[in-house]
Amino acid sequence: MVSFTLHSAIFSALLAVAAITTFTAAAPVAFSNQTSSRLDACGRLGQKNGVDVKYKDVAACYRAIPFDRFAADTTISTVHDLFRDYYVFTDKALAPRLPKPFTSESVDILKQLQTIGLRKYKSDYQFHTDVRYAIDTLRDGHASYDVNCYTNYAFQQHLSLYAPVKKGVQTVRVFTDYKERGYEDCIVDKIDGQPALDHIRQWATKRVTCSHDVNTRLNCALSRQGYYAEDSAFIDEPGEFSVRAYLPDKRYIDYELRCSNKKSSSRPIRLREEWVVFPQSKIQFEDVESYVANVCLSQGGAAPSSAVHGQARPHLRKSAPLIKKRDLLHAYDTVETLVPVQKFDDAEKLVAGNATIFYRLKSQPDVGVMVVHTLDANFDEVDTILEGLTAFHSHNVTKVLVDLQGNGGGILSLSSDLTQMLFPNNNTLDASFEVDMRAPETVQRLSALGFNSPYGANYDARAYHDLQVEGAPQYENNDLFMKPVNITRNGRTNQYSERTVLYSTPLSTETLTAVAAFPWTGRRENIRILTDGRCASACGMTAYFWTKVYGIEAYSIGGTKGEDLSMFSFAGASVSTLSDLQDTYSLLKMESPLKEMAYKNQVRFAWLELYGKNRTVPLEYDAELYRPNHRLDYTQRNARSREVMWRQVAGASWK
């Protein structure tokens, strides 16, 4: 077995094959007396017990699973009806072409699913892959299709890549060489025979789902410096091009490198890098039949854990992390971490919480940096934010740079609180969004039982506020759902609720009094935003308010040189799952119109659409609102250090 040296970069442990934990269970599987050569494809994979698994082992097992027409028909029926009646953007996605900075084409998700349902499949793996690809074309981080059956193994390359600009030229370079061969910052001229940047852009255009903007998708595909909250450290993060939660198309990637630090720099270095494979569960199996029974089917076991909002960062582990969702890589298991603390010579750390961390620039001491790396935090994070802002004030900070890079979103109320702490409400609806939902007959029937019920969840009208009444009180009846309006979008007419509002509770008087004393409060000229476009869901809502309502200038970094790059990736904070919806039906003792799917799954969808102030296009598709004031390119220096970025933005903003 090949052994790689562990070092400080995130996911370096993924390359340390010798360090993989051998998975065990309370009662180990007793394999039959068959020899290895007589086992079927999944039997040979299972016999490895998680050790030294190769791409070909996983591919053979996945492709050996028999296609079940009945299960496939049930799957298509359920997913189709879910996206027809509950997914809020089904009609809006039909837009023939979205304006810049978006690059997505028209998507008829219902037609795609119907077409898949009519195909004659022999491969179960291909069927579920096609369903996933169809949902992926929506480019909505709140919409996805995942089944345990084909996410049981993760895949990583030895090289992670980035695309800095040097002397006006953008090239793909090696960000991290996990085998420590000295390839960092070597130029990658070709990938699989194509010019490297073209290859990755094409792959991101086709396979990455984090945004309607292909340049944000490029940022999601490539490596960067990310924040690791457990150790309050900025560390290297491989992008989605280098870490996959689904079986890649082939077992290797070919690279052609050009390295100035090598004696043979005049000659290209050609590498064929095979995928390193890591089990994502401890479930044991001994053949195709037991793999399907134990890993795939809904009976027994747990479904995939709900993915955190947006593009969550992976955690560094000594043993293989458990990647449960493509594009939203989230590792868990209690094992020791190896995280280096990146030391900032020019940034003094003042306060750190679960979602925010506060620095003061030494070279520009009137500038404070508030890093908001997530909004998925407890309600007491507001106290930490106030503590951090107070620390800024006590250190004579008068200008604030808010770093939103890589923020996957989170809790709506924290987004509202954060907005109000910089721009306090004048009235109770200032930090609130107007919204609507799909309201066909299926939703109307569900809402009738959900009204004023502890189990009504998203379909209880009392959770919303009536904009048709002065003061926007909570609904006291079910008119929101029972009196829908017809809206025609892109030639398709459907029923939607009337406009309502996501109400945000105003901050306390004590907090408002405290923030009023700060020199940046309510002053857009004293605040800037830095983003790489990977600012999702509740983060996107925050970025919208700050930039388009209150006029803060934003800097977006990365993407393709000379092209637009969005400030945020998607908005909404309205993600739900098929499982959540089925639970709502069950708790209300109502028969669901959606059939139960055979495979353990995580099917996510957006059920609520938001609108900008006085806008008619849902925020998810309102491309004009995604444009930043300023664009920055990655360089070999700033891509590896947030501190360099902060000085760059501060210097351009407040000379």
Domains of the chain: 347-424+507-572+611-653 (3.90.226.10), 437-500 (no CATH)
CA 526 to the chain's CA centroid: 30
37 pLDDT tier (thresholds 50, 70, 90): low
Residue, of 319 and 645, whose pLDDT is higher:
645
Q: What average pLDDT does the segment 572-598 reach?
A: 94
Given a cut of 90, whether residue 550 has pLDDT beyond it is yes
Please confirm whether the linkage preceding 101 is cis (ω < 30° from 0): yes
Q: Region 552-573: what's the mean pLDDT? A: 94
pLDDT at 601: 94
Phi/psi-derived region of residue 206, left when phi > 0, alpha when psi is between -120 and 50, beta in every other case = alpha
CA distance 52 to 18: 8
Measured CA to CA, the distance from residue 294 to residue 57 in angstroms comes to 18
Residues 465-519 have pLDDT tens digits of 998 888 888 999 999 999 999 999 999 999 999 999 877 778 889 999 999 999 9
Cβ–Cβ < 8 Å for 17, 349: no
Q: What is the per-residue pLDDT across 329-341, written as a single tens digit (0 to 9) for each? A: 333 232 233 334 5
pLDDT in tens, 41-54: 999 999 999 999 99
Question: Lowest-pLDDT range, 105-114, 166-175, 221-230, 379-388?
Answer: 221-230
pLDDT at 301: 38
* Structure confidence at residue 302 as a pLDDT band (50, 70, 90): very low
Look at strands 144-147 and 536-537 and give their pairing: unpaired
C-alpha distances out from residue 407 to 252, 312, 570, Å: 31, 8, 11
pLDDT in tens, 209-224: 999 999 999 999 999 8
How deeply is 300 buried, as exposed, middle or buried, from its count of CB atoms within 10 A (0-12, 13-18, 19+)? Answer: exposed
Instruction: Give the pLDDT confidence score for residue 460 in this predicted structure.
Output: 95
What does pLDDT average to over the chain?
Answer: 86
Q: 176 pairs with which residues across the strands?
A: 160
Is the pLDDT at 9 greater than 50? The verdict is no
Task: Give me 448's structure tokens.
Answer: 């009738």
Tokens of 156: 């990583």
DSSP code string of 83-128: HHHT-TTTTGGG-SBPPTT---B---HHHHHHHHHHS--SBHHHHH
pLDDT at position 109 is 98
Q: What is the pLDDT of residue 342?
A: 67
Alpha carbon distance 249, 262 (integer Å): 31
Q: Average pLDDT, stretch 570-574?
A: 81
Closest CA to 274 of 255, 294, 246: 255
Let me know if 454 is exposed, middle or buried by CB neighbors in 10 A (0-12, 13-18, 19+). Answer: exposed
The one-letter amino acid at 264 = S
Q: Which residues have a Cβ under 8 Å from the Cβ of 73 and sit 6 or more positions away?
A: 117
Does this model's pTM top 0.85? My answer is: yes
Query: 524: which 2 tokens?
Result: 């857009």
| 451-475: average pLDDT | 91
CA dihedral 19, 148, 119, 440 (to 10 degrees): -140
* Distance between CA atoms of residues 438 and 581, nearest Å: 14
- For the segment 568-584, the average pLDDT, to the nearest whole number, is 91
Q: Is 526's pLDDT higher than 90?
A: yes
Residue type, position 269, single letter: I
Pairwise CA distance, residues 309 & 645, whole Å: 25
Instruction: Work out the average pLDDT over 18-29.
Output: 30
Q: 3-state SS of 627-644?
A: CCCEEECCCCCHHHCHHH
pLDDT of the residue at 431: 78
**Backbone torsions φ then ψ of 626, nearest 5 degrees:** -95, -10
DSSP 3-state percent helix, strand, coil across the chain (nearest 5): 30, 20, 45
How would residue 655 be classed by pLDDT, with cut points 50, 70 and 90?
Answer: confident
User: In the structure, what pLDDT confidence band is assigned to residue 26 with cuts at 50, 70 and 90?
Assistant: very low
Question: Averaged over 576-585, what is the pLDDT?
Answer: 96
Q: How confident is the model at residue 573 (pLDDT cuts 50, 70, 90)?
A: low
Question: What count of residues does the chain have?
Answer: 655
The 3-state DSSP class for residue 32 equals: coil
Answer for the pair 105, 94: CB distance below 8 angstroms, yes or no.
no
- Residue range 164-190: average pLDDT? 96
Confidence band, pLDDT 50/70/90 cuts, at residue 36: low
Interacting residues of 222 by C-beta distance below 8 A, sequence separation 6+: 160, 161, 162, 163, 175, 200, 239, 241, 558
> 17 falls in which pLDDT band (50, 70, 90)?
very low
Confidence of residue 264 (pLDDT cuts 50, 70, 90): low
pLDDT in tens, 358-407: 999 999 999 999 999 999 988 889 999 999 999 999 999 999 999 999 99
Residue 428: pLDDT band with limits 50, 70, 90? low
Highest-confidence range of 295-304, 409-418, 444-453, by mean pLDDT? Answer: 444-453
Distance CA 337, CA 339 (A): 6
3-state secondary structure (DSSP) of residue 204: helix
- The mean pLDDT value for 70-85 works out to 97
Amino acid 157: pLDDT: 95
pLDDT score for 610: 94
- Which of 571, 567, 591, 568 lies closest to 581, judged by CA? 591
Q: What is the DSSP string of 253-315?
A: EEEEEE-TTSTTTTS-EEEEEEPEEEE------SSHHHHIIIIIBSSSS-PPPPPPSSSPPPP
How far is C-alpha 427 from the geometric centre of its chain's CA atoms?
33
Going 185 to 190 to 191 to 192, the CA torsion angle's sign is: negative
Confidence of residue 229 (pLDDT cuts 50, 70, 90): confident
Cα separations in angstroms, 411 against 145, 470, 551: 23, 28, 23
d(CA 341, CA 413) in angstroms, rounded, equals 31
348-366 pLDDT, tens digit per residue, is 999 999 999 999 999 999 9
Give the pLDDT confidence score for residue 244 in this predicted structure: 94
| Averaged pLDDT, 238-244 | 95
Residue range 119-142, pLDDT digits in tens: 999 999 999 999 999 999 999 999
Q: What is the mean pLDDT of residues 179-198?
A: 96
Cβ-contact 490, 107 below 8 angstroms: no
